[in-house]
């Protein structure tokens, strides 16, 4: 009978990586959560710590932007491979179960993006996950080449679009108009987050969910994400995380090349600044696409390989294992972050939206994650799964599972 992964079968290093990814995603999400840099209701320069906002923005762009979503995408692809392998080893219909698993994730994602927070990524993973199924029998070489090619594909696609624009007589410069100008309906939606009712929040979620999908399509975010899916499947095929001691040379090479390519590209991209959604390609957007594609992939692989190497050292292993309970309940912690954040920042909660600097928002994020570490450790010492994971697994396998550990 197919069953979820037991505690004994879990790989601690993967839970640590998931915990790191959960923290990194919170660092980036705290900006839209708090309304900082989106729409200030007062004089932002007077906010406590605001004079450091430029440095904080650079730091977040450098170390976090797109890197931790890429890491989570890598882990999602790896999890797909583990799921199918275990299901087929038990004689179960792995593909059917995986489709049901994705359907459950999609339901959770839709509830999250409509009723709680518009920045949901779960529904994106769920829909893209269906495209992984045809790759389940692909060779290791195909997975590696296709994964790396898709991570770099946005550069070629954007460059081609720029050539088409130039050939049509449009040049390669920035189009006229202020790309940062915000349409009135977006301004109204943002004001709803900061001071409106829950109905206003629901309206804003709908507007920004649709806008988020447009941004992911236009910026070719989905292409890079699927490339990381395939690299995750490839990594599992090689048993890199199941037996990392046998792959130290490979991990060191990936760590080195990830650092060499990712650090300068990410630093340059952070210095350049995000050009935002561009419906008309220009030269600045092309350079940004190169830097983002190289930087996000490079630093993501640097984080994954570097942390895995550190995990092999007993002293570091003990330190990093603090994050394992967060990673083993990553779905629950991801959803909990949204709930806590809207209570703190939205008008339906404490109303701090657009009333804190990036520095203060970042400190709040660190405090939130510290609480999650403690709460996850306490919960997972008594439970077999996170609460959201428990519900998700019962839907996937269409059977009931115990939530609490049996006392010895």
339 occurs within a structural domain = yes
86 occurs within a structural domain = yes
Element (H, E) at 234: helix 221-237
354 occurs within a structural domain = yes
Of 236, 228, 190, the closest CA to residue 211 belongs to 190
pLDDT, position 184: 80
Asked if 218 and 278 count as a contact pair (C-beta separation under 8 A), the reply is yes
- pTM score, two decimals? 0.92
371 occurs within a structural domain = yes
316-to-13, 21, 312, 320 alpha-carbon distances in Å: 11, 18, 8, 6
For tokens 């940062």, what's the residue? 180
Q: Give the C-alpha separation, 312 to 329, whole Å.
A: 23
Q: Give the C-alpha separation, 139 to 238, whole Å.
A: 11
For residue 289, the enclosing domain spans 7-397
pLDDT digits (tens, 9 = 90+) for 347-396: 999 999 988 989 999 999 999 999 999 999 999 999 999 999 999 999 99
281-to-142, 152, 157, 287 alpha-carbon distances in Å: 31, 17, 11, 11
246 occurs within a structural domain = yes
1 occurs within a structural domain = no
pLDDT digits (tens, 9 = 90+) for 274-330: 777 666 778 888 899 999 999 999 999 999 999 999 999 999 999 999 999 999 999
pLDDT digits (tens, 9 = 90+) for 250-271: 999 999 999 999 999 999 999 9
Q: How many domains does the chain have?
A: 1
Q: Give the C-alpha separation, 329 to 263, whole Å.
A: 30
Per-residue exposure over 147-156, b if at least 16 CB sit within 10 Å of its own CB, e if not: beebbbbbbe
Confidence of residue 41 (pLDDT cuts 50, 70, 90): very low
Q: Give the C-alpha separation, 316 to 402, whole Å.
A: 33
275 occurs within a structural domain = yes
Q: Give the C-alpha separation, 124 to 135, whole Å.
A: 18
27-to-61, 201, 237 alpha-carbon distances in Å: 10, 22, 31
Asked if 261 and 280 count as a contact pair (C-beta separation under 8 A), the reply is no
Residue 242 reports pLDDT greater than 80: yes
Residues contacting residue 98 through CB under 8 Å, at least 6 positions apart: 80, 83, 84, 87, 129, 133
Element (H, E) at 128: helix 122-129
Of 128, 126, 108, 124, the closest CA to residue 338 belongs to 108
406 occurs within a structural domain = no
């Amino acid at each position: 009978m197919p069953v979820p992964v037991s505690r004994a079968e879990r790989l601690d290093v993967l839970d640590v990586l998931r915990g790191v990814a959960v923290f990194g995603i919170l660092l980036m999400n705290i900006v839209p959560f708090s309304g900082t840099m989106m729409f200030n209701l007062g004089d932002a320069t007077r906010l406590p710590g605001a004079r450091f906002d430029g440095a904080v923005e650079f730091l977040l762009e450098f170390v976090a932007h797109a890197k931790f979503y890429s890491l989570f995408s890598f882990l999602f692809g790896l999890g797909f491979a583990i799921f199918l392998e275990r299901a087929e080893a038990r004689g179960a219909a792995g593909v059917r179960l995986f489709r049901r698993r994705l359907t459950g994730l999609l339901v959770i994602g839709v509830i999250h993006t409509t009723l709680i927070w518009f920045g949901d990524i779960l529904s994106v993973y769920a829909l893209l996950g269906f495209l992984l199924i045809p790759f389940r029998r692909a060779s290791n070489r195909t997975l590696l080449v296709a994964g790396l090619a898709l991570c770099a594909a946005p550069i070629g696609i954007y460059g081609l679009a720029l050539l088409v624009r130039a050939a049509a007589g449009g040049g390669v410069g920035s189009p006229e108009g202020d790309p940062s100008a915000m349409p009135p309906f977006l301004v109204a939606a943002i004001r709803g987050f900061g001071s409106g009712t829950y109905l206003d929040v629901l309206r804003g979620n709908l507007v920004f969910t649709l806008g988020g999908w447009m941004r992911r399509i236009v910026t070719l975010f989905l292409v890079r994400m699927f490339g990381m899916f395939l690299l995750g499947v490839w990594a599992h095929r090689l048993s890199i995380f199941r037996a990392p001691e046998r792959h130290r040379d490979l991990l060191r090479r990936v760590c080195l090349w990830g650092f060499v390519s990712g650090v300068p590209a990410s630093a340059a991209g952070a210095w350049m600044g995000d050009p935002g959604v561009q419906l008309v390609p220009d030269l600045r957007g092309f350079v940004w696409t190169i830097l983002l594609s190289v930087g996000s992939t490079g630093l993501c692989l640097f984080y994954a390989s570097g942390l895995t190497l550190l995990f092999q050292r007993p002293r570091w292993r003990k330190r990093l294992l603090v994050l394992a309970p967060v990673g083993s309940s990553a779905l629950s912690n991801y959803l909990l972050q949204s709930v806590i954040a809207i209570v703190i920042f939205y008008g339906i909660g404490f109303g701090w939206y657009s009333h804190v600097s990036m520095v203060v928002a970042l400190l709040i994020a660190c405090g939130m994650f510290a609480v999650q570490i403690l709460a996850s450790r306490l919960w997972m010492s008594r439970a077999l799964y996170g609460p959201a994971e428990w519900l998700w697994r019962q839907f996937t396998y269409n059977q009931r599972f115990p939530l609490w550990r049996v006392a010895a």
